[in-house]
């Protein structure tokens, strides 16, 4: 139960402070440390001299060891903080806030809208390149705007809801293990020749770990849309999530993206270019508007922050119910 109060405090801290650049220019971010740990295993265990079966087995062993190690670190920290009393509670709130991405995500996406408004398409290309993997030069203003909104939606699920969920379920071991897994998926979970086998286990486990958060995030977005944009937007958001989430190539990302598409009455996803390769996907909420702009990005950010508040309200309500039981 106390974890829920600490989680609420961490959500508030992250919303206010975010990821201050002055701090992470001086200290390595924990996710950077996770990345270096993954590299230590990947380089010697994913050589082309191994067979595909050996690389897949090495990948399974790697991610299991990394998850065990990160959960063990989380357990040690939890025990240490328990012994430090109020100081330990403050430290735990700070640690949890580091692994949430409300303000940093909102700031990065807002930079895309600002780039479009102040510098035109060139400014939008420069800003959106910081948050998406597709080729920004292939995007017009509507494409840049849709890409920013899609990134905002997807990262709401795995950058905010999922770490909060796993901390609520399993405390510091849960959130550290989740962030290790999510980092591994982003580094070695790609379906390319190099990582197809070695990253197989990381990608599949990440899909499993994000399953609850993806569906919760769609519900939070629908409630936020109803709160901020009206009941019709909320109904449209929920309907789009239930109808179109399966159109996405990911088993999870389609839920928040379709929910946001319905909330803003915009078409999202569809064909795009990654590394010079065209990826054809159907549009989610195909009946929505096809001409997005910076104002839509800003509306999406408003829905995003309201969805974060809805999540916090649900956590607070859960704490009250547990207290009364």
Q: Using an 8 Å Cβ cutoff, are 248 and 257 in contact?
A: yes
CA atoms of 233 and 226, how far apart (whole Å): 6
Residues sharing a CB contact under 8 Å with residue 297, sequence separation 6 or more, in sequence order:
109, 110, 112, 113, 116, 145, 148, 149, 152
Q: Torsions phi, psi of 235, nearest 5? A: -65, -40
pLDDT one-digit tens code per residue, 54-68: 999 999 999 999 999
The whole-chain average pLDDT of the chain stands at: 94
CA atoms of 239 and 233, how far apart (whole Å): 10
User: What own/partner pairs with CB < 8 Å and gap ≥ 24 does 144-148 have?
Assistant: 144/112, 144/116, 145/112, 145/113, 145/116, 145/292, 145/293, 145/294, 145/296, 145/297, 146/266, 146/267, 146/268, 146/270, 146/292, 147/272, 148/109, 148/112, 148/113, 148/297, 148/300
Per-residue model confidence (pLDDT) at position 218: 98
More confident residue, 133 or 262: 262
More confident residue, 132 or 62: 62
Per-residue model confidence (pLDDT) at position 277: 60
Q: Torsions phi, psi of 284, nearest 5? A: -90, 140
Q: Using an 8 Å Cβ cutoff, are 214 and 255 in contact?
A: yes
Residues sharing a CB contact under 8 Å with residue 76, sequence separation 6 or more, in sequence order:
none
Mean predicted confidence (pLDDT) in 128-147: 86
CA atoms of 213 and 156, how far apart (whole Å): 9
Query: By mean pLDDT, which of 89-98, 99-108, 187-196 is the weakest?
Result: 187-196
CA atoms of 2 and 32, how far apart (whole Å): 29
What is the pLDDT confidence band of residue 139, given thresholds at 50, 70 and 90? confident
Please give the model's pTM, rounded to 2 decimal places.
0.95
Residue at token pair 């950010």: 301
CA atoms of 299 and 106, how far apart (whole Å): 12
CA distances from 284 to 102, 211, 241, 302 (A): 24, 19, 9, 20
């Amino acid at each position: 139960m106390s974890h829920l109060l600490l989680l609420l405090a961490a959500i508030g801290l992250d919303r206010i402070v975010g990821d201050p650049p002055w701090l992470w220019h001086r200290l390595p971010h924990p996710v950077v440390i996770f990345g270096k740990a993954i590299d230590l295993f990947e380089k010697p265990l994913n050589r082309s001299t191994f067979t595909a079966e050996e690389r897949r087995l090495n990948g399974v062993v790697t991610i299991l060891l990394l998850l065990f190690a990160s959960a063990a670190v989380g357990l040690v920290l939890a025990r240490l903080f328990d012994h430090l009393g109020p100081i330990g509670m403050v430290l735990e709130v700070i640690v949890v806030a580091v692994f949430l991405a409300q303000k940093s995500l909102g700031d990065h996406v807002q930079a895309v809208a600002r780039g479009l408004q102040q510098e035109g398409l060139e400014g939008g290309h420069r800003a959106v390149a910081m948050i998406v993997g597709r080729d920004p030069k292939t995007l017009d203003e509507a494409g840049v705007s849709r890409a920013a909104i899609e990134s905002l939606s997807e990262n709401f699920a795995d950058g905010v809801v999922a770490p909060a969920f796993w901390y609520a379920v399993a405390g510091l071991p849960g959130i550290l293990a989740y962030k290790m897994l999510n980092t591994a998926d982003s580094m070695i979970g790609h379906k390319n020749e190099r990582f197809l086998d070695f990253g197989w286990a990381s990608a599949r486990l990440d899909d499993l770990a994000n399953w609850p958060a993806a569906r919760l995030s769609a519900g939070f977005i629908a409630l936020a849309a109803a709160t901020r944009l009206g009941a019709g937007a909320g109904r449209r958001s929920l309907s789009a999530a239930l109808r179109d989430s399966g159109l996405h190539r990911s088993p999870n990302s389609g839920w928040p993206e379709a929910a946001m598409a319905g909330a803003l009455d915009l078409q999202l996803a569809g064909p795009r270019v990654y590394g010079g390769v065209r990826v054809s996907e159907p549009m989610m909420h195909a009946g929505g508007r096809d001409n997005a702009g910076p104002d839509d990005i800003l509306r999406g950010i408003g829905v995003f922050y309201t969805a974060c508040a809805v999540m916090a309200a649900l956590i607070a309500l859960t704490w009250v119910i547990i207290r009364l039981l």
